Amino acid sequence: MSITIQPIESKEQWEQFVLGERPHSFLHAWNWGEFQVAQGEAIRHIGLFDGNTLVGVALLVTVRARRGSFVFCPHGPVMDWGHTDYRSAFFHYVQTYARKQKVDFIRISPLLLQSDEHVQFFRDARYRNAPIHMHPELAWMVDVTKSEQDLLLDMRKTTRYCIKRSEKEGVAIEKSTDSNALTEFYRLYAETVDRHQFVPFSREYLENELTIFGADHQAMMFSARYNGGVIASALVIFYADSSFYHQGASSKKYPKVPAAYLLQWEVMKEAKRRGLRYHNFWGIVETENPKHPWHGLSLFKKGFGGFSEQYVHAQDLPLTKKYWLNVAVETFRRRKRGL
Protein backbone atom coordinates (compact mmCIF):
# COMPACT_ATOMS: atom_id res chain seq x y z
CA MET A 1 0.00 0.00 0.00
CA SER A 2 1.10 3.60 -0.58
CA ILE A 3 1.83 5.99 2.30
CA THR A 4 0.03 9.32 2.08
CA ILE A 5 -0.17 12.29 4.43
CA GLN A 6 -3.32 14.33 4.78
CA PRO A 7 -4.57 17.05 7.14
CA ILE A 8 -6.87 15.78 9.90
CA GLU A 9 -9.79 17.99 10.84
CA SER A 10 -11.71 15.53 13.03
CA LYS A 11 -10.98 15.69 16.75
CA GLU A 12 -12.70 12.32 17.18
CA GLN A 13 -10.51 10.63 14.56
CA TRP A 14 -7.34 12.16 16.05
CA GLU A 15 -8.14 11.31 19.66
CA GLN A 16 -9.21 7.78 18.85
CA PHE A 17 -5.79 7.11 17.31
CA VAL A 18 -3.66 8.88 19.92
CA LEU A 19 -5.49 7.41 22.89
CA GLY A 20 -5.11 3.97 21.33
CA GLU A 21 -1.34 4.51 21.40
CA ARG A 22 -1.48 5.75 25.04
CA PRO A 23 1.59 8.01 24.89
CA HIS A 24 3.27 9.22 28.09
CA SER A 25 2.64 12.80 27.04
CA PHE A 26 -0.29 15.14 26.44
CA LEU A 27 1.59 17.22 23.88
CA HIS A 28 -0.10 15.40 21.04
CA ALA A 29 -3.59 15.70 22.48
CA TRP A 30 -5.99 17.51 20.17
CA ASN A 31 -6.40 20.05 22.95
CA TRP A 32 -2.70 20.90 22.95
CA GLY A 33 -3.15 22.03 19.37
CA GLU A 34 -6.18 24.09 20.40
CA PHE A 35 -4.09 25.57 23.18
CA GLN A 36 -1.41 26.59 20.67
CA VAL A 37 -4.05 28.31 18.55
CA ALA A 38 -5.24 30.23 21.63
CA GLN A 39 -1.64 31.36 22.09
CA GLY A 40 -1.64 32.77 18.57
CA GLU A 41 0.40 30.01 16.91
CA ALA A 42 -0.39 28.46 13.54
CA ILE A 43 -0.81 24.69 13.64
CA ARG A 44 -1.54 21.75 11.40
CA HIS A 45 -2.82 18.31 12.38
CA ILE A 46 -1.61 15.71 9.89
CA GLY A 47 -2.25 11.99 9.55
CA LEU A 48 -0.11 9.28 7.96
CA PHE A 49 -2.24 6.79 6.05
CA ASP A 50 -1.18 3.35 4.87
CA GLY A 51 -3.80 2.92 2.20
CA ASN A 52 -7.00 3.90 4.02
CA THR A 53 -5.66 3.08 7.48
CA LEU A 54 -4.48 5.85 9.80
CA VAL A 55 -1.05 4.75 11.07
CA GLY A 56 0.39 7.96 12.54
CA VAL A 57 -0.33 11.55 13.47
CA ALA A 58 1.75 14.67 13.96
CA LEU A 59 0.99 18.09 15.40
CA LEU A 60 3.03 20.77 13.65
CA VAL A 61 3.32 24.18 15.29
CA THR A 62 4.83 27.13 13.44
CA VAL A 63 6.75 29.28 15.91
CA ARG A 64 7.68 32.81 14.81
CA ALA A 65 10.64 34.29 16.70
CA ARG A 66 13.18 37.03 16.01
CA ARG A 67 16.08 34.66 16.57
CA GLY A 68 14.66 32.31 13.91
CA SER A 69 11.29 30.83 13.03
CA PHE A 70 10.69 27.10 13.03
CA VAL A 71 8.17 24.30 12.62
CA PHE A 72 7.97 22.33 15.84
CA CYS A 73 6.63 18.84 16.53
CA PRO A 74 6.22 18.40 20.33
CA HIS A 75 6.65 14.85 21.65
CA GLY A 76 5.77 13.44 18.27
CA PRO A 77 4.97 12.25 15.75
CA VAL A 78 2.93 9.38 17.17
CA MET A 79 3.64 6.47 14.83
CA ASP A 80 5.60 3.24 14.46
CA TRP A 81 9.11 4.66 14.26
CA GLY A 82 10.48 1.28 13.27
CA HIS A 83 8.65 1.45 9.93
CA THR A 84 11.09 2.94 7.40
CA ASP A 85 8.38 4.10 4.98
CA TYR A 86 6.51 5.94 7.74
CA ARG A 87 9.66 7.78 8.83
CA SER A 88 10.59 8.71 5.28
CA ALA A 89 7.12 9.99 4.49
CA PHE A 90 6.98 12.09 7.65
CA PHE A 91 10.45 13.61 7.23
CA HIS A 92 9.76 14.46 3.57
CA TYR A 93 6.38 16.03 4.35
CA VAL A 94 7.55 18.17 7.25
CA GLN A 95 10.50 19.52 5.26
CA THR A 96 8.26 20.47 2.35
CA TYR A 97 5.72 22.03 4.72
CA ALA A 98 8.40 23.98 6.60
CA ARG A 99 9.79 25.48 3.41
CA LYS A 100 6.29 26.63 2.45
CA GLN A 101 6.03 28.23 5.88
CA LYS A 102 9.33 30.04 5.14
CA VAL A 103 10.92 29.11 8.46
CA ASP A 104 14.60 28.79 9.31
CA PHE A 105 14.59 25.28 10.75
CA ILE A 106 12.55 22.28 11.85
CA ARG A 107 12.61 21.06 15.45
CA ILE A 108 11.29 17.69 16.58
CA SER A 109 11.11 16.60 20.22
CA PRO A 110 10.26 12.92 19.74
CA LEU A 111 8.61 10.78 22.41
CA LEU A 112 11.08 8.09 21.41
CA LEU A 113 13.16 6.17 23.94
CA GLN A 114 16.84 7.11 23.88
CA SER A 115 18.97 4.62 21.93
CA ASP A 116 21.68 4.74 19.28
CA GLU A 117 19.26 3.20 16.79
CA HIS A 118 16.64 5.88 17.38
CA VAL A 119 19.17 8.71 17.14
CA GLN A 120 20.36 7.25 13.84
CA PHE A 121 16.86 7.72 12.41
CA PHE A 122 17.49 11.46 12.63
CA ARG A 123 21.10 11.37 11.49
CA ASP A 124 19.99 9.56 8.35
CA ALA A 125 17.55 12.43 7.71
CA ARG A 126 20.35 15.03 8.32
CA TYR A 127 19.04 16.28 11.69
CA ARG A 128 21.37 17.43 14.45
CA ASN A 129 21.06 17.86 18.21
CA ALA A 130 19.21 21.05 19.19
CA PRO A 131 21.10 23.42 21.53
CA ILE A 132 18.27 23.16 24.09
CA HIS A 133 15.41 20.85 24.97
CA MET A 134 11.85 22.10 24.56
CA HIS A 135 10.02 19.59 26.73
CA PRO A 136 11.10 16.95 29.26
CA GLU A 137 13.54 14.41 27.86
CA LEU A 138 13.94 12.57 31.16
CA ALA A 139 10.56 11.97 32.77
CA TRP A 140 9.81 10.51 36.20
CA MET A 141 6.72 8.32 36.58
CA VAL A 142 4.97 6.30 39.26
CA ASP A 143 2.75 3.29 38.55
CA VAL A 144 -0.41 4.17 40.49
CA THR A 145 -2.18 0.87 39.83
CA LYS A 146 -0.55 -0.41 43.03
CA SER A 147 -2.44 -0.24 46.32
CA GLU A 148 -2.12 2.98 48.34
CA GLN A 149 -0.22 1.02 50.99
CA ASP A 150 2.31 -0.25 48.44
CA LEU A 151 2.68 3.21 46.90
CA LEU A 152 3.53 4.63 50.32
CA LEU A 153 6.01 1.82 50.99
CA ASP A 154 7.76 2.55 47.67
CA MET A 155 8.34 6.17 48.69
CA ARG A 156 11.42 7.51 50.39
CA LYS A 157 11.02 7.49 54.17
CA THR A 158 11.22 11.28 54.36
CA THR A 159 8.49 11.60 51.70
CA ARG A 160 6.10 9.44 53.73
CA TYR A 161 6.95 11.48 56.82
CA CYS A 162 6.22 14.76 55.02
CA ILE A 163 2.83 13.49 53.83
CA LYS A 164 1.84 12.42 57.33
CA ARG A 165 3.15 15.63 58.88
CA SER A 166 1.13 17.75 56.46
CA GLU A 167 -1.99 15.80 57.37
CA LYS A 168 -1.32 16.28 61.10
CA GLU A 169 -0.69 20.00 60.59
CA GLY A 170 -4.17 20.28 59.08
CA VAL A 171 -3.23 20.97 55.45
CA ALA A 172 -6.31 20.58 53.24
CA ILE A 173 -6.10 19.80 49.54
CA GLU A 174 -8.72 21.49 47.37
CA LYS A 175 -9.50 20.51 43.79
CA SER A 176 -11.04 22.85 41.23
CA THR A 177 -11.54 23.34 37.51
CA ASP A 178 -12.49 26.99 38.02
CA SER A 179 -10.04 29.47 36.50
CA ASN A 180 -10.41 31.55 39.68
CA ALA A 181 -8.10 29.02 41.33
CA LEU A 182 -5.33 30.43 39.13
CA THR A 183 -5.33 33.67 41.15
CA GLU A 184 -3.72 31.99 44.16
CA PHE A 185 -1.57 29.82 41.91
CA TYR A 186 -0.15 32.80 40.06
CA ARG A 187 0.72 34.56 43.32
CA LEU A 188 2.73 31.50 44.40
CA TYR A 189 4.12 31.15 40.90
CA ALA A 190 5.67 34.62 41.11
CA GLU A 191 7.39 33.59 44.36
CA THR A 192 8.65 30.39 42.75
CA VAL A 193 10.04 32.30 39.76
CA ASP A 194 11.95 34.61 42.13
CA ARG A 195 13.48 31.65 43.95
CA HIS A 196 14.47 29.59 40.92
CA GLN A 197 15.05 32.36 38.36
CA PHE A 198 13.28 30.84 35.35
CA VAL A 199 11.24 32.48 32.60
CA PRO A 200 7.57 32.36 33.71
CA PHE A 201 4.50 31.62 31.66
CA SER A 202 1.90 34.35 31.48
CA ARG A 203 -1.40 34.26 33.36
CA GLU A 204 -3.13 34.00 29.99
CA TYR A 205 -1.00 30.98 29.06
CA LEU A 206 -1.95 29.11 32.23
CA GLU A 207 -5.60 30.10 31.99
CA ASN A 208 -5.83 28.87 28.40
CA GLU A 209 -4.29 25.55 29.39
CA LEU A 210 -6.71 25.04 32.27
CA THR A 211 -9.76 26.17 30.29
CA ILE A 212 -9.12 24.19 27.10
CA PHE A 213 -8.16 20.91 28.78
CA GLY A 214 -10.69 21.48 31.56
CA ALA A 215 -13.55 21.56 29.06
CA ASP A 216 -12.90 17.84 28.47
CA HIS A 217 -12.28 17.09 32.17
CA GLN A 218 -8.57 16.76 31.40
CA ALA A 219 -7.24 19.47 33.73
CA MET A 220 -7.58 20.30 37.41
CA MET A 221 -6.07 22.73 39.90
CA PHE A 222 -4.85 21.23 43.20
CA SER A 223 -4.33 23.71 46.05
CA ALA A 224 -2.88 23.05 49.52
CA ARG A 225 -4.57 25.34 52.04
CA TYR A 226 -3.08 26.07 55.46
CA ASN A 227 -3.93 28.75 58.02
CA GLY A 228 -6.50 30.25 55.68
CA GLY A 229 -4.15 30.61 52.70
CA VAL A 230 -2.85 28.53 49.80
CA ILE A 231 0.81 27.57 50.25
CA ALA A 232 1.24 25.10 47.36
CA SER A 233 -0.59 24.64 44.08
CA ALA A 234 -0.38 22.61 40.89
CA LEU A 235 -2.00 22.46 37.48
CA VAL A 236 -2.42 18.80 36.55
CA ILE A 237 -3.33 17.39 33.14
CA PHE A 238 -5.11 14.03 32.82
CA TYR A 239 -4.61 12.41 29.44
CA ALA A 240 -4.31 8.92 27.95
CA ASP A 241 -3.27 6.67 30.85
CA SER A 242 -1.54 9.31 32.98
CA SER A 243 -1.82 12.35 35.17
CA PHE A 244 0.84 14.99 34.47
CA TYR A 245 2.31 17.41 37.00
CA HIS A 246 2.72 20.18 34.46
CA GLN A 247 2.78 23.42 36.44
CA GLY A 248 3.64 23.86 40.11
CA ALA A 249 4.20 26.65 42.62
CA SER A 250 4.76 26.97 46.35
CA SER A 251 5.37 29.47 49.13
CA LYS A 252 8.15 29.53 51.73
CA LYS A 253 5.90 31.26 54.27
CA TYR A 254 5.63 28.06 56.34
CA PRO A 255 8.88 26.20 55.61
CA LYS A 256 8.17 23.52 58.24
CA VAL A 257 4.84 22.55 56.67
CA PRO A 258 5.64 20.26 53.68
CA ALA A 259 2.31 20.78 51.91
CA ALA A 260 3.65 20.01 48.43
CA TYR A 261 4.13 16.36 49.42
CA LEU A 262 0.52 15.91 50.47
CA LEU A 263 -0.61 17.72 47.33
CA GLN A 264 1.23 15.24 45.07
CA TRP A 265 -0.13 12.32 47.06
CA GLU A 266 -3.66 13.60 46.46
CA VAL A 267 -2.93 13.91 42.74
CA MET A 268 -1.75 10.29 42.69
CA LYS A 269 -4.95 9.18 44.43
CA GLU A 270 -7.04 11.17 41.96
CA ALA A 271 -5.23 9.39 39.11
CA LYS A 272 -6.13 6.06 40.75
CA ARG A 273 -9.77 7.11 41.04
CA ARG A 274 -9.82 7.88 37.33
CA GLY A 275 -8.47 4.42 36.54
CA LEU A 276 -5.18 5.72 35.14
CA ARG A 277 -1.91 3.82 35.19
CA TYR A 278 0.75 6.44 35.83
CA HIS A 279 1.36 9.71 37.57
CA ASN A 280 3.94 11.55 35.49
CA PHE A 281 6.01 14.07 37.44
CA TRP A 282 7.26 15.48 34.10
CA GLY A 283 10.93 16.38 33.86
CA ILE A 284 13.86 15.63 36.18
CA VAL A 285 17.63 15.93 35.93
CA GLU A 286 20.09 13.16 36.71
CA THR A 287 22.80 14.99 38.58
CA GLU A 288 24.33 14.90 42.03
CA ASN A 289 25.34 18.55 41.74
CA PRO A 290 23.34 20.42 44.41
CA LYS A 291 23.95 23.70 42.55
CA HIS A 292 21.98 22.59 39.50
CA PRO A 293 18.77 24.69 39.25
CA TRP A 294 16.55 21.58 39.19
CA HIS A 295 18.47 19.33 41.60
CA GLY A 296 16.14 19.90 44.56
CA LEU A 297 12.95 19.55 42.53
CA SER A 298 14.23 16.31 41.00
CA LEU A 299 14.97 14.85 44.44
CA PHE A 300 11.47 15.83 45.53
CA LYS A 301 9.87 14.01 42.59
CA LYS A 302 12.04 10.88 42.91
CA GLY A 303 11.14 10.62 46.59
CA PHE A 304 7.70 9.31 45.59
CA GLY A 305 9.21 6.14 44.11
CA GLY A 306 8.86 5.19 40.50
CA PHE A 307 11.06 5.05 37.43
CA SER A 308 12.42 7.25 34.66
CA GLU A 309 12.05 7.27 30.90
CA GLN A 310 14.64 9.02 28.75
CA TYR A 311 13.77 10.25 25.28
CA VAL A 312 15.84 11.22 22.27
CA HIS A 313 17.11 14.80 22.57
CA ALA A 314 15.35 17.50 20.52
CA GLN A 315 16.48 17.36 16.90
CA ASP A 316 16.91 20.23 14.43
CA LEU A 317 17.06 20.38 10.66
CA PRO A 318 18.59 23.72 9.57
CA LEU A 319 16.95 25.30 6.51
CA THR A 320 18.53 28.76 6.35
CA LYS A 321 21.68 30.45 7.62
CA LYS A 322 19.64 32.25 10.27
CA TYR A 323 19.40 28.94 12.12
CA TRP A 324 22.93 29.46 13.40
CA LEU A 325 21.90 32.74 15.04
CA ASN A 326 19.26 30.73 16.90
CA VAL A 327 21.93 28.24 17.98
CA ALA A 328 24.04 31.05 19.42
CA VAL A 329 21.11 32.63 21.29
CA GLU A 330 19.81 29.37 22.74
CA THR A 331 23.29 28.18 23.73
CA PHE A 332 23.89 31.46 25.57
CA ARG A 333 20.56 31.21 27.40
CA ARG A 334 21.18 27.59 28.38
CA ARG A 335 24.59 28.36 29.85
CA LYS A 336 23.29 31.44 31.65
CA ARG A 337 20.68 29.29 33.40
CA GLY A 338 23.31 26.76 34.42
CA LEU A 339 21.69 23.96 32.43
Taking phi over 0 as left and psi of -120 to 50 as alpha, with beta for the rest, 141 belongs to beta
Whether omega before 77 lies within 30 degrees of 0, making that bond cis, reads yes
Q: What is the pLDDT of residue 149?
A: 97
CATH number listed for the domain at residues 138-310: 3.40.630.30
pTM here is 0.93
**Residue 207: CB partners within 8 Å, gap ≥ 6?**
179, 182
Residues 232/260, Cβ–Cβ less than 8 Å: yes
For 285, phi then psi, to 5°, come to -120, 145
Residues 226/169, Cβ–Cβ less than 8 Å: yes
* CATH superfamily label, 3-135+311-336: Gcn5-related N-acetyltransferase (GNAT) (3.40.630.30)
d(CA 280, CA 45) in angstroms, rounded, equals: 25
pLDDT in tens, the chain (339 residues): 689 999 999 999 999 999 999 999 999 999 999 999 999 999 999 999 999 999 999 999 999 988 899 999 999 999 999 999 999 999 999 999 999 999 999 999 999 999 999 999 999 999 999 999 889 899 999 999 999 999 999 999 999 999 999 999 999 999 998 878 888 888 888 887 777 666 778 889 999 999 999 999 999 999 999 999 999 999 999 999 999 999 998 888 898 999 999 999 999 999 999 999 999 999 888 867 777 666 778 999 999 999 999 999 999 999 999 999 999 988 888 777 666
Q: What is the pLDDT of residue 297?
A: 86
- Can you give the residue ranges of every domain in the chain? 3-135+311-336, 138-310
Q: Do domains 3-135+311-336 and 138-310 have the same CATH topology?
A: yes
Sign (positive or negative) of CA dihedral 55, 111, 324, 200: positive
Sign (positive or negative) of CA dihedral 86, 92, 96, 97: positive
